[in-house]
Amino acid sequence: MKQTLFICFLFLAAACSQPGKHVSAAAADGPDSIRYAKGFTVERCDGYIAVDVIDPWDTTRLLQRYLLIDRDRPAPEGLPEGTVVRTPLRNVAVYTSVHASIIEQLGEAGQIAGVCEPQYMSSPAVKEGLRDGRIADLGMATAPNVEKMIDMGIEYIIASPFQNGSYGQAGKLGIPVVEAADYMESLPLGRAEWGRFYGLLFRKEAIADSIFADTEARYLALRELALTSAVRPAVLSEKRYGSIWYVPGSDSYVAHFFADAGADYIFKDIPGAGSAPLAFETVLDRASHADVWLIKYNQADEMTYGSLRAEYAPYENFDAWKNRAIYACNTGNTPYYEEFPIRPDYLLKDLIWVFHPELLPGYAPRYYRNMAEN
């Protein structure tokens, strides 16, 4: 069972146990143990750190093996097969605002040389770098400006992989691509734990571990707080796009957030970590009596009951509409997508405020607001 991945792990273990190779005492004590993330593992060997990134679409295979070596030291002999990464990373191209923000939190925004789709970047350091020309606009993530990458001497690319996808011309440049598959994690703390991998890349392990430890402690404390409520409101999420309403599956990070915040997710019976496409009529039939409805959007004007009605009048048939229990998050005006992957405790606190406001008296929500009338 899962033979390919098992063989890969045996190979790595053998490489770390060759003469002259050994797992460090620190690793034996467990500082690199990964408690929540399913997508990567860390092994410290003599002279390098091996990070295996597991293929999230076929967990019997590896997506990549990275061999992290101090850039000021020679590479040790007898390295196993993998992509050599000299740390700390320098002169990096970053494809997403999420990873740019994580790098900024590590105090390494100065190593970002270029970004894709700068209009979506919320990191103050990146915005400043774009304004003064220290950070280049590399265009669209699906078709970045490879000529500019070459001219700039980009050393590494940090990008999110997609199933059966490729990196186009950028993938043919010979520049190592760090495949940041954190978005495929189903547990909120699992996604946050990828920050420890990025800490290894920039040799900011202590900072990354500290951020995660604080996040974990706050998240677990909030989860325990939510458990003190005997009420579990039924929750509906998002809205239709075109003729389809995509609802997150039972193993998605969204479903886990709802459960941890003390809510009863109406579509928790839909399997999988992805989203399932449903017709509006199906959603209305099952979720018309939902107590709370959460919507995310990105637009200049704030969404209101009036604008939602103008978009699609049948929304008025939901009890959450009638009872004015719709909560909206404008991701264009809040750092929602940039923050919650590394700080899920921020989002969890907002959700507890939505579902159980009595547990957080006086709390000012970070992302969600009760949707305005008009």
Per-residue pLDDT, 163 = 87
User: Among 83, 90, 112, 91, which residue's Cα sits nearest to residue 100?
Assistant: 112
Strand pairing of 177-179 and 136-137?
Answer: unpaired
Is the confidence at residue 92, as pLDDT, over 50? yes
Is the confidence at residue 53, as pLDDT, over 70? yes
- Mean pLDDT across the stretch 193-218? 97
Supply the pTM of this predicted model: 0.89
Boundaries of domain holding 63: 1-85
**How many whole angstroms separate alpha carbon 216 and alpha carbon 189?**
7
Res. 30 pLDDT band, cuts 50 70 90: low
Q: What is the 3-state secondary structure (H, E, C) of the chain?
A: CCHHHHHHHHHHHHHHCCCCCCCCHHHHHCCCCCCCCCCEEEEEECCEEEEEEECCCCCCCEEEEEEEEECCCCCCCCCCCCEEEEECCCCEEECCHHHHHHHHHCCCHHHEEEECCHHHCCCHHHHHHHHHCCCEECCCCCCCCHHHHHHHCCCEEEECCCCCCCCHHHHHCCCCEEECCHHHCCCHHHHHHHHHHHHHHCCCHHHHHHHHHHHHHHHHHHHHHHHCCCCCCEEEECCEECCEEEEECCCCHHHHHHHHCCCEECCCCCCCCCEEEEEHHHHHHHHCCCCEEEEEECCCCCCEHHHHHHHCHHHHHCHHHHCCCEEEEECCCCCHHHHCCCCHHHHHHHHHHHHCHHHCCCCCCCCCEECECC
Question: How many other C-beta atoms are found inside a 10 Å radius of the C-beta of residue 35?
Answer: 11
Mind listing the pLDDT tens digit for each residue in 223-274? Answer: 999 999 999 999 999 999 999 999 999 999 999 999 999 999 999 999 998 8
Mind listing the pLDDT tens digit for each residue in 64-86? Answer: 999 999 999 999 999 999 999 99
- Burial classification of residue 355, based on how many CB atoms lie within 10 Å of its CB (0-12 exposed, 13-18 middle, 19 or more buried): buried
Give how many domains the chain has, as a whole number: 2
Which CATH number characterizes residue 335's domain? Answer: 3.40.50.1980
User: Among 114, 73, 69, 65, which residue's Cα sits nearest to residue 89?
Assistant: 69
Structural domain includes residue 141: no
Q: Where does a domain end: 85, 115, 136? A: 85
- Mean pLDDT across the stretch 181-187? 95
Q: Is 137 left (phi over 0), alpha (psi -120 to 50) or beta?
A: beta
Mind listing the pLDDT tens digit for each residue in 315-326? Answer: 999 999 999 999
Structural domain includes residue 189: no
Listed in sequence order, the residues at least 6 apart from 338 whose beta carbon sits closer than 8 Å to its beta carbon are 97, 98, 100, 101, 122, 123
Is the confidence at residue 3, as pLDDT, over 50? no
Per-residue pLDDT, 223 = 98
Per-residue pLDDT, 32 = 67
Per-residue pLDDT, 158 = 97
Structural domain includes residue 151: no
Structural domain includes residue 310: yes
- Mean pLDDT across the stretch 27-52? 84
Q: Where does a domain end: 85, 106, 133? A: 85
Mind listing the pLDDT tens digit for each residue in 148-161? Answer: 999 999 999 999 99
Per-residue pLDDT, 16 = 59
Structural domain includes residue 125: no
Q: Where does a domain end: 85, 118, 153? A: 85
Structural domain includes residue 209: no
Structural domain includes residue 94: no
Structural domain includes residue 274: yes
Mind listing the pLDDT tens digit for each residue in 8-18? Answer: 444 444 445 44
Q: To 10 degrees, the CA torsion angle through 87, 92, 95, 100?
A: 80
